Every structure is written in C-alpha cells, then in structure tokens.
Amino acid sequence: MGMPKLCLFVALFLVGSRLATAQTQTKGIQLNTGNSSHLVVLAIQPLPDSANKDLALVLVSLAPQCVFPERFELPVQLDGTAFQLKRMIRLTQEQLSNGVCSESLVSAYTPSEFCYLTAASSVVMHLPSGPVQWTPEAIGYASSMKQPEAAPYQVRAEETREASVQLMLMARSGEAPKARDLAEAMAPVFVSRPAGEGIAFFAALGLARRETKDLPAAAIAYEVATMIADASSYSGGVVGVTYDNLATVRRLLRQFEGASVASDRALAILSATDPAGWNYGGALNNRALLLADQNQPIAALEYSDRALVVLRQAFKNDTAALAPFLDDNQQLRDKAEGR
C-alpha cells in the first residue's frame, strides 16, 4: 500500500449531537499497527463550538478491506494498567479505486480525559482490527495539544474503593440499569486508580452490562479487567472469576474460540487459588456448558461431573444452591446418553 501524505483532510465532530463534514487540513501522525497492509493515522483538533474546550481525536484507516462498524467502544490502554473506554463513530467509509478501504473515525475527549492520555508513556488503542500502538511522536504530538489549564479528575480514594462492591450488589439485586448508569458515569475516573481497583471496577461494569442484556459491551468490560490483571501480574480469585465471566459472555455470543481461551485461564487460576471453592466448581460447570454448545456432550458431562464433586463439598447442605448444577448435569447426561 502506498504511503499517503500525512497532511490529511479529516471529518470532525460539530455541535452537540449533529455531525457534519468540516474539511480541515490538519497534521497527521502514523501509528504502529504491526501490519504493513493496514495504515492508521492520528489527528487531533479542538472540537468546533465546544463550550468545554473538548478535543476531537480522529483516526484515518487505510486497509485492504473495511473493518469498522458505525459505532463501537474503544478501550485505550495507558501504561499497561490504566484504561479509558471511548465511544468511536465512523464518519466516512469509501472503497478507493485501488481497492483499499478508507475509513475515518472520531471520538471526543474532555480536557480532563486528555490529561491522562498525554501523561502516559505508552498508549495502545484496542481497535476491532487489532491493537494499535502510539509512537513516541504521536504521544509528543498529543502533548502539544493539551490545554495549559486542563487538570485531571479529582478523585476521592475512599469512594472508589467501595464503588465496585456497591455496583455489584446493585446489579445482582434487581437494580442493574441503575448500577450500569452509575458505572458508566464513573468509568473515566478509574483510569487513575491502582490495578486492583481497576480490575474490580471493570468486572462490576461487565456484570451491570451483562445484566442489562448488552453482551458485546459486557465482553469489552471483562476484557479490560483481564488486561489490567495481565499487565500488572495481579492474581487471585477475582481474576479467575472475571475470566470465567468473560468465557460465559463469549459463549453466549457464540465466540467459542475466545470463550475456550478465557475458560482455560479461569480454570488454571481458580484451581490454584481455590480448588475446593464454589467459584472453581462454577467455572467447571460453565466449561461443561461451553462444550455442550459445541456439540461435545461426552466431554461436557465429564466437566459437569467434576463440577458436582467440588460443588457438593462447597455448598454442603445448601440444596437450593446446588439444584441448578444438578439440573445441568442431568440434562448433559441425557444428551450424552442419547436420551
């Protein structure tokens, strides 16, 4: 693919919810896609008519085929363990005469959000097409666009530490829509919190999204939580449970390969941290359901039987808690035996 000039005409956001095509010549910086056939160029400009002095972050993609949906959520990874979730809009999509697909994408950054972006030494955008690494030139370019008076969010540590627990309790007790609204509003401030808090928060956001029937968004939140864990070497049961929840969401989305990978991680972590606990038993049962969905009834029954061994001990005399797993086992047994 030929290298285009890095001085590009880009489409920008305009006032409020309206979109228009303001043709503005602006500087562009090439990002590292790790793929010689896919070019991504970054441009940043003040958002026209923004009372809050927001910035428009624009990506121009040139690839052999079109890859971006009209709207999607973009995880932006800062220094490994911090994440921003940004709403991206595809403004243009055009098949060029040479067969290349040209697409332009845009997201709005508040001055406070932009502070974290410019303070980072490493920035990775997890696009649907794959991760894109910012170059040092791109980070320097973004820093030059920061407004001198901009300041990061003021965060009270005692509030963020308790937030995840409260959000999970709400999501599990019939208040999932409220929990999700609160979690979505709080997400920007968790970019500055320690890894353990970040994992717990994005796991809670994933639960709230799942309980409100938004499985693709739930998968993204769970993926962010697991990426924080991997980048920070954070270990423990919460990470195993998060991988198990990610596996379940991917199974429901019929993404079986990704579900199997997440399930493997969940079982490895939970078998090491809590081999007699109900979380491990639940993960074994979820692997059974995943195998059943892939028409592997015998393997599914083996995992279900293993799950019951753990869960009978974990739940002891709590027959109500054990009942759903016994039902799963019976259904899997009937299927494996052709009944």
**Hey, where are the domains in the chain?**
7-144, 157-336
Cα separation of 204 and 221, whole Å? 8
- The model's pLDDT over 179-236, given as tens digits with 9 standing for 90+, comes to 999 999 999 999 989 999 999 999 999 999 999 999 999 999 999 999 999 999 888 8
Residues of the chain above pLDDT 70, percent: 92
Residue 261: burial class (beta carbons within 10 Å; 0-12, 13-18, 19+): middle
Q: What is the mean pLDDT of residues 25-54?
A: 88
Select the CATH number that applies to the domain covering 157-336 from these four: 3.10.50.40, 3.30.300.30, 3.30.360.10, 1.25.40.10: 1.25.40.10
What length is written for the chain? Answer: 339
Q: What is the mean pLDDT of residues 142-165?
A: 86
Q: What is the mean pLDDT of residues 76-80?
A: 97
Average pLDDT, rounded, for the chain: 90
Q: What pLDDT sits at residue 27? A: 67
Per-residue confidence at 65, pLDDT binned at 50, 70, 90?
very high
Q: What is the mean pLDDT of residues 66-80?
A: 97
Is residue 14 predicted with pLDDT exceeding 60? no
Residue 327: burial class (beta carbons within 10 Å; 0-12, 13-18, 19+): exposed
Q: What pLDDT sits at residue 157? A: 75
- With 0.85 as the threshold, say if the pTM is over it: yes
- DSSP string for residues in 115-131: HHHHH-S-EEEEETTEE
Cα separation of 241 and 28, whole Å? 42
Residues of the chain above pLDDT 90, percent: 81
Per-residue confidence at 51, pLDDT binned at 50, 70, 90?
confident
Q: What pLDDT sits at residue 192? A: 86
Q: What pLDDT sits at residue 26? A: 54
Q: What pLDDT sits at residue 110? A: 95
Task: Please tell me whether residue 228 adopts helix, strand or coil conformation.
Answer: helix
Cα separation of 103 and 92, whole Å? 5
Per-residue confidence at 47, pLDDT binned at 50, 70, 90?
confident
Per-residue confidence at 20, pLDDT binned at 50, 70, 90?
very low
